[in-house]
């Protein structure tokens, strides 16, 4: 039963969309298992850019089963619009399946998300304001409304009443908002139900059948390990678990279904929103990398904060996810620098040194980076397609990362386009091998 999980190993936007689209070529299905339309996954094919928010990044492969798992929170308006937009661009979306157990983002979740941020003032998290946190909160409080509820008007109405009642006080400022009118909301959501109905399914069962038959299933994470609600830089995190362990829960398969875990990381680090970022660059170089790397949010357009590659955090992510391979993206963005720094440790108050990711929030907030400098390279690497094509300094940089993290680099990104990658060899074979081994009777 070979399942391969692809996760973000930093603070999101590592290039998961591109890597998933590439690996999807060899897979039979692609599953999103957590997060919602806070995600923005970009794929560039033949010079055309695709920005996906809820849709699994296998959707551009005609007929490939794409699943939105039970662990995802779905804004049905966004999903229905995304489907229409893809259809308008002649993408075959017939193989999309949506878990009947996935939770729905409701209009009041959106209002609560922005109200929550406004209330926090200076302490705000910088959420994407897509209602993600309030939706997961309702799920945990057992007040959530699920995809299957869209198919029954009576149940839908009852659940909306039950979910809105406890929020009466917080929603008071929005009392006159038509989006909160029970009848309007029910009617609107029933319409989404009609639009999505043909895609709604028992997705866990679909995946069991595929895995039993030895098919290759990709589990595509959103966000990244450092935004994980349990293991990330809490409270500056998202409200789900982007780590690989959550793939099982969010798709409905057991841990034995997972054969490999790929971690995607940029050759440097970015983060959107507030929260600690020890290796952040606050100078002109940070600004230059932001522009060279196009570091502006796919979902909100916000400028991303930029810094050196944080190997302390990356090692931590490797452990949290039991990474078997690394995909290092955007190596091309580092061209033209005389030297490149990597964060190999943190220094805290009173000169305390940390080589492992500190568990205490206060330490992290005051951590400054211990930097190791490596020589840079001047050549443009956008046309390189093998390790041998890369300048020696770029190869040394990749080796340094692999050694520090203890995980081999399987794939290197040298530009946004689909073909701008370097396969380092073995792990691609091992990907195929995993499929072949498990497919054997």
For ligand IMO, give the closer residue by CB, 277 or 377: 277
Pairing, β 325-329 against β 103-104? unpaired
Spell out a b/e string for 66-82, using b for 16 or more CB atoms within 10 Å of the CB, else e. bbbbbbbbbbbbbbbeb
Secondary structure tally for the chain: helices H, strands E: 14, 20
Distance of closest approach, residue 41 Cβ to ligand IMO, in angstroms: 6
Residue 107 interacts with which of ligand IMO, Mg ion, ligand GDP, none, CB < 5 to 8 Å by class: none
Q: Which of 401, 393, 355 is nearest to 374 (CA)?
A: 393
Say whether residue 10 binds Mg ion (CB under 5 A).
no
Whichever of 200 and 222 has its CB closer to Mg ion, that residue is 222
Positions that interact with ligand IMO (CB under 6 A)? 8, 12-13, 35, 38-41, 125-128, 130, 132-133, 222-224, 227, 238-239, 272-273, 298
Quick one: 34 or 424, whose CB is closer to Mg ion?
Answer: 34
> Least separation, in Å, of the C-beta of 16 and ligand GDP?
3
User: Which one of 36-44, 70-78, 144-152, 265-273 is the stretch in contact with Mg ion (CB under 5 A)?
Assistant: 36-44
Nearer to Mg ion, 215 or 298 (CB): 298
- The entry of ligand IMO, ligand GDP, Mg ion, none that residue 38 binds, CB within 5 to 8 Å by partner kind: ligand IMO
Assigned token pair, 396: 């040394």
Which residue(s) pair with 122 in the sheet? Answer: none
User: Residue number with the shortest CB distance to ligand GDP?
Assistant: 413
Tokens found for residue 18: 């591109």
Contact pick of 6, 13, 280, 310 for Mg ion (by CB under 5 A): 13
Closest to ligand IMO by CB, 56 or 193: 56
Query: Residue 76 binds which one of ligand GDP, Mg ion, ligand IMO, none, with CB within 5 to 8 A depending on kind?
Result: none
Distance in Å, CB of 225 to ligand IMO, minimum: 11
**Is the backbone peptide bond immediately before 235 cis, with ω within 30 degrees of 0?**
yes
Kindly state whether residue 298 participates in binding Mg ion, applying the rule CB under 5 A. Answer: yes
Residue 139 interacting partner from ligand IMO, ligand GDP, Mg ion, none (CB closer than 5 to 8 Å by kind): none
- What are the tokens at 291? 């522009």
Other Cβ atoms within 10 Å of 165 Cβ, number: 9
Q: What is the dihedral of CA 427, 432, 435, 441, to 10 degrees?
A: -120
438 is catalytic: no
- For residues 69 and 407, give the distance between their C-alpha atoms in angstroms, rounded to a whole number: 28
Length of the chain: 441
* Min CB(420)–ligand GDP separation in Å: 6
Give, as ranges, the residues between 37 and 96 that touch Mg ion (CB under 5 A): 40
Integer Cα distance of 130 and 357 in angstroms: 30
Dist. CA 372–CA 335, nearest whole Å: 18
Query: By CB under 5 A, is residue 21 in contact with Mg ion?
Result: no
CB closer to ligand GDP out of 310 and 332: 332
Which C-beta is closer to Mg ion: that of 298 or that of 321? 298
What is the chain's alpha carbon radius of gyration, rounded to the nearest angstrom?
Answer: 22
- Which stretch in 152-160, 191-199, 298-306, 382-390 sits in contact with Mg ion by CB under 5 A? 298-306
Q: Which residues of 201-230 are buried (b: 16+ CB within 10 A; e: fewer)?
A: bebbebbbebbeebbbbbbbbbbbbbbbbe
Could you tell me which residues come within 8 angstroms of residue 286 by beta carbon, excluding any fewer than 6 positions away? 280, 305, 306, 307
Catalytic residue, candidates 21, 28, 41, 113: 41
13 is catalytic: yes
Q: Which tokens in the block code for residue 16?
A: 């998961």
Residues that bind ligand GDP (CB under 6 A): 8, 12-18, 39-42, 44, 294, 298, 329-330, 332-333, 413-416
Which residue has its beta carbon closest to ligand IMO?
273
Catalytic residues, by residue number, are 13, 41
Residues forming contacts to Mg ion in the complex (CB under 5 A) are: 13, 40, 298
């Amino acid at each position: 039963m070979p399942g391969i999980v692809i996760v973000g190993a930093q603070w999101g936007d590592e290039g998961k969309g591109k890597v998933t689209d590439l690996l999807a070529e060899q897979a039979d299905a692609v599953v999103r298992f957590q997060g919602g339309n806070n995600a923005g996954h970009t794929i560039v094919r033949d010079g055309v850019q695709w920005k996906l928010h809820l849709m699994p990044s296998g959707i551009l492969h005609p007929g490939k089963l794409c699943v939105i798992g039970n662990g995802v929170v779905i804004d049905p308006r966004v999903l229905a619009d995304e489907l229409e937009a893809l259809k308008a661009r002649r993408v075959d979306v017939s193989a999309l399946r949506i878990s009947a157990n996935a939770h729905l983002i409701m209009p009041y979740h959106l209002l609560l998300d922005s109200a929550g941020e406004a209330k926090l003032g200076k302490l705000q998290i910088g959420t994407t304001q897509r209602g993600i946190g309030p939706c997961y909160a309702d799920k945990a409080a057992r007040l959530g409304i699920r995809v299957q509820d869209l198919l029954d008007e009576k149940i839908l109405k009852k659940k909306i009443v039950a979910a809105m009642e406890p929020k009466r006080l917080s929603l008071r400022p929005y009392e006159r908002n038509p989006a909160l009118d029970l009848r309007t909301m029910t009617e609107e959501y029933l319409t989404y139900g009609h639009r999505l109905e043909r895609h709604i399914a028992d997705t866990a069962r679909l995946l069991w059948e595929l895995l039993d038959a030895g098919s290759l299933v990709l589990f595509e994470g959103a966000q990244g390990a450092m935004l994980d609600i349990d293991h990330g830089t809490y409270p500056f995190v998202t409200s789900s678990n982007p780590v690989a362990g959550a793939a099982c829960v969010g798709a409905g398969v057991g841990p034995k279904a997972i054969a490999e875990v790929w971690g995607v990381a940029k050759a440097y680090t970015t983060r959107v929103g507030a929260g600690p970022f020890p290796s952040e660059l606050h100078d002109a170089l940070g600004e230059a990398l932001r522009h060279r790397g196009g570091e502006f949010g796919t979902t909100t357009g916000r400028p991303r904060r930029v810094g050196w590659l944080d190997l302390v955090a990356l090692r931590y992510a490797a452990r949290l996810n039991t990474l078997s391979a690394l995909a290092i993206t955007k190596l091309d963005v580092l061209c033209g620098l005389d030297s490149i720094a990597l964060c190999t440790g943190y220094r805290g108050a009173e000169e305390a040194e940390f080589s492992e990711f500190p568990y205490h929030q206060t330490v992290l907030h005051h951590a400054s980076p211990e930097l190791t400098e490596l020589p840079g390279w001047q050549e443009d690497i956008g046309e390189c397609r093998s390790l041998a094509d890369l300048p020696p300094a770029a190869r040394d940089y990749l080796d340094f990362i692999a050694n520090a993290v203890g995980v081999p680099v399987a794939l290197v990104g040298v530009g946004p386009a689909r073909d701008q990658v370097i396969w380092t060899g073995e792990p691609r074979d091992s990907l195929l091998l995993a499929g072949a081994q498990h497919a054997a009777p």
